Structure 1
Amino acid sequence: MRNSLRTALRAGAIALAGAMLALGSAAVPAQAAPAADPGPITPQVVGGTPAAQGEFPWIVRLSMGCGGAMYTPSLVLTAAHCVGATGNNTSITATWGVVDLQDPTRTTRTSNYVYRAPGYNGNGKDWALIRLSSPITAAPLLKIATDTSLHSGNFQVMGWGAATEGGGQQRYLLKAQVPFISDTQCQGAGGSYSGLIFNEEICAGNYTSGGVDTCQGDSGGPMVKRNASNEWIQIGIVSWGIGCARPQNPGVYTEVRYFATDIYNAAVSLGGAPGGVSVTGPGNQSTTVGNAVTLNSSASGGTSPYSWSASGLPAGTSINSSTGQITGTPSTAGTYTVTVTVNDSAGGTGTASFTWTVNPVGSCAAATNGTDVSIPDNNTTGVYSNITISGCTGNGSTTSKVEVHIVHTYKGDLIVDLVAPDGSVYNLHNRSGGSTDNIDTIYTVNLSSEVKNGTWRLRARDAASIDTGYINSWTLTL
């Protein structure tokens, strides 16, 4: 009986809610009934108090009579019972940016796809994502909880749902505070609550006196709380309850943190999740004024194409906005903290930072070549990556350093040598390491017999078949 009541009422049209309530204590799609502002929780009218313009800048109203929150610029997080099956859907209109639904400055988007939680059948798993036809790039995003650290105290709820049980939808956004209720106490309310699904559902409301609750028309909206950094975090999704604001009949919300990974992965499959771009930078660099450089970064996740930018670059260098490659000739010595930033087409962002030391000419402290060089399979001739030293005097030291970064599966295939300007060869790696991957090693080499000036070459050879890779970067410190 519990299952059928919850499913029927959650999925049913708003017009049916009043008729169902007339039949008795039915489980109503929990649609927001805000109450008091910050302060002690006391019995309030279900309607709560008006929200100020911009107070909840990620809140969204959906045309089927539900709420939602901006999870990415293109995705609205809402309740599964608010939508139909997973698939193409152009019938939903999302309204964002206003507390008054008739405000002419409102922003609207139609949907183009709906993703409903796999396995949803009216019991638990009450979450869904609605993809918009185009991003709302101006919309702040609402982060979702990933643990239970905020499961205490009071939560904030808001929505355009009924201000009284069985009432009509509201034109203006209302807000309320609802206190946390433990799963055990909530389940103890009996009836439909006896089947509360621990972990998947979380309860909130004035347990003893009622008066504060979400109500029909608020389904899918967020229940939030500020974290230690004063950021709003979504704790729940308005899901269901018996009536609205009745004593010992609290609101039940989807426990977002339990589904955080599933929501994230679904968002990636739909075109990107917030913070879903991973960036790998070129690593710390040491070069010399006047030496041309090419540094490469890479990005994964999110939605391509990517747009690249960088801050803190040395004078004379720049980054390609399409490829992320940094090129140029540093003209000013110094130590630079460079941050590479990637924005994907779905609004996701990722960053990577590295330290770049540009040495003055003649210091000969170190030089780096960060240009990738492919190592052909089973190639005994070898490939080279060069570093040219000029303007220096004297020879290298007895403890010169050669820092090598080679990406290659099965490094036991590799032979790596340093070739001095006069042709002398210093072996660094000779087919050791077996089946382990990659070389990320600093070698100490006695170069006291070698003059510093000239072209130094790192040679890499692949002495066996199947596995391949490339020289990623290397640094010579004389």
Structure 2
Amino acid sequence: MRRAALVVAGAATLAAGTAAHASAAPPADGGTYTPQVVGGTQAAQGEFPWMVRLSMGCGGAMYTDQLVLTAAHCVNGTGNNTSITATYGVVDLQSSSKVTRQSTYVYRNPGYSTSAGGDWALIKLASPISGAATLPLATSTAYDSGTFTVIGWGAATEGGAQQRYLLKAQVPFVDDTTCKSSYPSMKTAVEICAGYPQGGTDTCQGDSGGPMVRRDGAGNWIQVGIVSYGQGCARPNYPGVYAQVSALSSAIATQAAQLGGGTTPPTGTVFSSSGTVTIPDLGTASANVVVSGISGNAPSALSVSVDIRHTYRGDLVVDLVAPNGTAFRLKNSSSSDSADNVIATYTVNASAVAANGTWKLRAQDVYSGDTGYIASAKLTF
């Protein structure tokens, strides 16, 4: 999961969209710094709905529905760029359900260098991805400890091939003093480390730019790191080094606002379903979203983000069912709508319903011949 195939010594600087080599000088520690998910397991469809694969061999996460947050070392500079393809919505990169967008502009943190850190960049897509799940950023150090989850399509062994299927793994926080004993040039103000002292689990080549995440107080994913560098993959006493999002989030937000385009990240509390739910042919399925810690009733403009993968979306009737059983119709069936998938954000007036409890995204297949699954449901209060 670390940087994409990153051989620093003698590496040529390539155009953004073609490779993920660092464009700055070799790190002071020397050696080969490489990032993928080593020691991981395959992620379930919809488990990390905001994940993005970039065609230059890096990862990223949706910051808005038109902006992807990745690593500065994955791109070569700031400016117009139409050479990068972003793949969203699937764990299998060969899936016919994948959503792709071309880049239109790249912003590379101008303060980034291997000596200063700040390894982040934003990629603006040619058009928004309707209903895209977005990953909130940590804005304080409150979540910069504990156990993190790393995700990516990078190599599963040092020097190995990148993966077709998305992998995930858990790694523990490593304090700055310990990390600096392995990487004397590690920048404690803007970098954070994670890994086991015995090695065995890590990011690797092809994971560069991807997010390191953990759950926040409400149980929702929050991004605490960006895969940046490490010596080898999963080596003992060499944890992965990540750009520390809590130290960089303000600058990222400022630049994202200047880039414009797309829907800004929600400012309310977000609750999401977990895992995928199969929708049987001529059957009904529900994905649960557990809401807690919200005072009073739900808002009059409750945002409902839906990601349903289906080979004939006209077959589907989709409802949001409140904890008290009240149903809000989101989508009706239509025999003439032969397109794939329901990826959209709806707004319902749920102000008469108590917020806390188990909400259900219910999908009913009313015509035979096609099937699918609920990838994710997200409510923003």
Output the TM-score relative to the length of structure 1: 0.51
| Amino acid in the other structure paired with 1:83 | V
In structure 2, the residue matched to 1:175 is 168
Distance 2:185 2:143 in 1: 24
1:193-204 matches, cutoff 5 A = 193-204=183-194
Structure 2 residue matching 1:263: 3-state secondary structure? helix
In structure 2, the residue matched to 1:132 is 125
In structure 2, the residue matched to 1:235 is 224
Distance 1:237 1:121, change over 3 A: same
Q: 2:201 aligns with which of 194, 212, 216?
A: 212
In structure 2, the residue matched to 1:316 is none
Q: Summarize deviations over 1:103-124 as a string: whole Å, max 9, x none.
A: 0010000000000002222330
Q: For structure 1, which runs of at least 5 residues remain unmatched after alignment?
A: 18-23, 34-45, 279-309, 313-346, 350-478
Distance 1:66 1:176 in 2: 17
Structure 2 residue matching 1:108: 3-state secondary structure? strand
8 Å CA contact 1:268–1:276 kept in 2: the answer is no
In structure 2, the residue matched to 1:93 is 85
Distance 2:20 2:105 in 1: 25
| Amino acid in the other structure paired with 2:244 | E
Distance 1:275 1:173 in 2: 24
Structure 2 residue matching 1:57: 3-state secondary structure? coil
Q: 1:51 aligns with which of 40, 43, 46?
A: 43
| Amino acid in the other structure paired with 2:187 | I
Distance 1:94 1:211 in 2: 29
Which structure is larger by alpha-carbon Rg, 1 or 2? 1
1:271-310 matches, cutoff 5 A = 271=260, 274-275=264-265
8 Å CA contact 1:9–1:27 kept in 2: the answer is no
Structure 2 residue matching 1:81: 3-state secondary structure? helix
Q: Does 1:118 align with 2:98?
A: no
Deviation at 1:47, TM superposition (A): 4.2
Q: Summarize deviations over 1:40-77 as a string: whole Å, max 9, x none.
A: xxxxxx24100000000000000000000000000000
Q: 2:179 aligns with which of 176, 183, 186?
A: 186
| Amino acid in the other structure paired with 2:237 | Q
Distance 1:137 1:78, change over 3 A: same
1:236-251 matches, cutoff 5 A = 236-251=225-240
Deviation at 1:125, TM superposition (A): 1.1
Name the count of aligned residue pairs. Answer: 260
8 Å CA contact 2:21–2:73 kept in 1: the answer is no
Q: For structure 2, which runs of at least 5 residues remain unmatched after alignment?
A: 1-5, 23-28, 269-298, 302-343, 347-381
8 Å CA contact 1:94–1:109 kept in 2: the answer is yes
In structure 2, the residue matched to 1:155 is 148
Distance 1:5 1:14, change over 3 A: closer
In structure 1, the residue matched to 2:62 is 70
8 Å CA contact 1:214–1:251 kept in 2: the answer is yes
Distance 2:216 2:153 in 1: 25
Distance 1:251 1:11, change over 3 A: farther
Distance 1:205 1:71 in 2: 25
In structure 2, the residue matched to 1:265 is 254
Structure 1 residue matching 2:33: 3-state secondary structure? strand
Structure 2 residue matching 1:28: 3-state secondary structure? coil
Q: Summarize deviations over 1:295-326 as a string: whole Å, max 9, x none.
A: xxxxxxxxxxxxxxx959xxxxxxxxxxxxxx
Query: What's the Cα RMSD here?
Result: 3.1
Deviation at 1:230, TM superposition (A): 0.8
Q: Does 1:252 align with 2:233?
A: no
Structure 2 residue matching 1:125: 3-state secondary structure? coil
8 Å CA contact 1:58–1:96 kept in 2: the answer is yes
Q: Summarize deviations over 1:419-471 as a string: whole Å, max 9, x none.
A: xxxxxxxxxxxxxxxxxxxxxxxxxxxxxxxxxxxxxxxxxxxxxxxxxxxxx
Output the TM-score relative to the length of structure 2: 0.63
In structure 2, the residue matched to 1:453 is none
Distance 1:16 1:75 in 2: 22
In structure 2, the residue matched to 1:296 is none
8 Å CA contact 2:230–2:241 kept in 1: the answer is yes
Distance 1:5 1:200 in 2: 23
Q: Summarize deviations over 1:252-294 as a string: whole Å, max 9, x none.
A: 000011011100011001105734899xxxxxxxxxxxxxxxx
Distance 1:165 1:265, change over 3 A: same
Structure 2 residue matching 1:197: 3-state secondary structure? coil
Deviation at 1:90, TM superposition (A): 0.1
| Amino acid in the other structure paired with 1:103 | S
Distance 1:150 1:11, change over 3 A: farther
Distance 2:239 2:168 in 1: 16
Deviation at 1:25, TM superposition (A): 7.1
Q: Summarize deviations over 1:100-150 as a string: whole Å, max 9, x none.
A: 000001000000000000222233010000000000122110000001111
Distance 1:233 1:248, change over 3 A: same
Distance 2:76 2:20 in 1: 18
Return the structure number with greater relative CO, CA threshold 8 A, min gap 6. Answer: 2
Structure 2 residue matching 1:265: 3-state secondary structure? helix
Structure 1 residue matching 2:230: 3-state secondary structure? strand
8 Å CA contact 1:157–1:177 kept in 2: the answer is yes
Distance 1:153 1:175, change over 3 A: same
Q: 1:102 aligns with which of 71, 94, 109?
A: 94
8 Å CA contact 2:8–2:21 kept in 1: the answer is no
Distance 2:121 2:21 in 1: 22
8 Å CA contact 1:89–1:111 kept in 2: the answer is yes
8 Å CA contact 1:239–1:252 kept in 2: the answer is yes
Q: 2:75 aligns with which of 58, 83, 88?
A: 83
